Amino acid sequence: MRGLRIGRTLTALVLLGALGLAPGCTLRRQLTTGTGVAAKQLCSLAFVSGLEPERARALYIDPLLRGGAAIMSMRLDPAKSSALAVVPGVVRQRAVHRTGYGCTLVHDAERGLSGSPREARASRPMTLDAAHRDRFFDGTALEEALEYAFREGPSETPAQTLAVVVLHDGALVAERYAEGISSETRLPGWSMSKSVTATLIGVLTHLGRLDVSAPGAIREWRDSDDPRARISLDHLLRMTSGLALDEIADRGNGTDPSSILLYHEPDAAAFAAAQPLVHPVGRHFEYMSGNTVLAARAAQEAIGGDLGDAVAFLHEQLFAPLGMGSAVLESDQAGTFLGSTHMLASARDWARFGQLYVDGGLAAGRRLFPESWVDYVTTPTPSSTAPTRGDVFWEPGRAAYGAGFWLFGTGDTGLPPDTFDANGFQGQYVHIVPSEGLVVVRLGATNTRDYDHQRLPRQVIQALRRQRGAR
């Protein structure tokens, strides 16, 4: 048995060498990240989204693993609601699904998962308002916008658009889905989750439970002489904490701190809190998921109780007023929301989230966050620009960062100045244009650099303005 295990290990190492992956400890970190991504995504896409495993792999997983998929086995265990990813003889990762909580990577067999069982929720019904569409939009131009969104990109790699939803003044005026995807399919938001975490903090601010400008946001450093005690929620939301949580170290090969906290650690926030300062607090902008994970834990501590209490609060105080029954914000094994990365929801529910910002924080006549919150999250963070490396969707010089949202109306995108976005890896976007009363959602699994994600909202706005000019 030992000889077989060594043989498998050597086979894996030979294959990895052929794929150009690094040796030694770096190799193991890469493989741990890769199997973590594979197990977590396969679990979520199968048990939360309801995709067939083969399609989940082809769309979301194998393109991220590149050649590494050739040495990795993945399998689902429906009886145990789990997914497993293994590089034989080297590393294995397992993710477990629980209704209401989504999927969680289990790193520590001795550590139980917190939170009592929760029932699935249904989203509020939404129907296409054809009369509103025909009154306010040029139908041909709107259809052309959707056609572009689902057309293959200019490269040989398809755009893989899976869902588009357009709201105008809260009315559903257009939607389209790829084959096998419906209005109820929960799809990953990736870093759009950061915008949800910022909004949760806005809800807690409105309730008087949090002050974003107060120092001492993180308990490990609070009431101490540690210079990190100066870090506030504002610093975390604006990515100016100065912590050593580089998102794209070592060319984004899975060994960066962001990958480690998401796919290696049972307690992501504790890992983030253990990192030293590398820049003065508040002086340096660096987009890093660890900041938002720390902010999510601070929000949970303000809520109180265990993960189940936090999930209940999130639904009762944010998702339910918006009618977002499909939304699932996943956690790590310690029971902390991975609010940087791991929320899934239907395209309609992502649109409802954007509509909250068009409506200035009001939902069904109820105020969910302060009147000033939209101005707060859309105030540019000094010196913030779109990253120039590490993610294929950022466009240098075309965006600034606010507090949990990207500001795409600040550059040369051709969009109205008040345009801001929740957006995430592989081309997830909630475009919010308050001046036009618009929310445009695009979800997909895009792995190409030359697909213009800003073209869809530009075309929708043109369809709106063309009809306006014709009246």
Q: How many CB atoms lie within 10 A of CB 132?
A: 16
Single-letter amino acid, residue 97: H
Q: How many CB atoms lie within 10 A of CB 66?
A: 13
The sign of the dihedral angle between the CA atoms of 330, 235, 385, 284 is negative
Q: What is the pLDDT of residue 177?
A: 97
Distance from the Cα of residue 232 to its chain's centroid:
22
End-to-end Cα distance, the chain: 78
Mean pLDDT value of segment 51-80: 92
Q: Which helix (H) or strand (E) element contains residue 254?
A: none
> d(Cα 184, Cα 349) in Å, to the nearest integer?
9
How does the average pLDDT of the chain come out, rounded? 88
Distance from the Cα of residue 457 to its chain's centroid:
20
Instruction: Summarize pLDDT for 340-366 with one digit per residue, the tens.
Output: 999 999 999 999 999 999 999 999 899
> d(Cα 189, Cα 202) in Å, to the nearest integer?
19
Q: How many CA atoms lie within 13 A of 86 on its CB side?
A: 11
Instruction: Summarize pLDDT for 98-124 with one digit per residue, the tens.
Output: 999 999 999 988 788 887 777 778 899
Give the CA-trace dihedral at 444, 191, 118, 207, to 10 degrees.
Answer: -130
Instruction: Summarize pLDDT for 388-442 with one digit per residue, the tens.
Output: 433 434 454 567 999 999 998 766 678 999 999 999 999 999 999 999 999 999 9
Q: What is the pLDDT of residue 21?
A: 46
Return the SS3 of 203.
Answer: helix
Q: What is the pLDDT of residue 198?
A: 98
Mean pLDDT value of segment 193-218: 98
Contact 210, 201 (CB under 8 A): yes
Domains and CATH numbers, the chain: 2-98 (no CATH), 187-467 (3.40.710.10)
> d(Cα 446, Cα 456) in Å, to the nearest integer?
14
Q: Helix (H) and strand (E) counts for the chain?
A: 16, 16
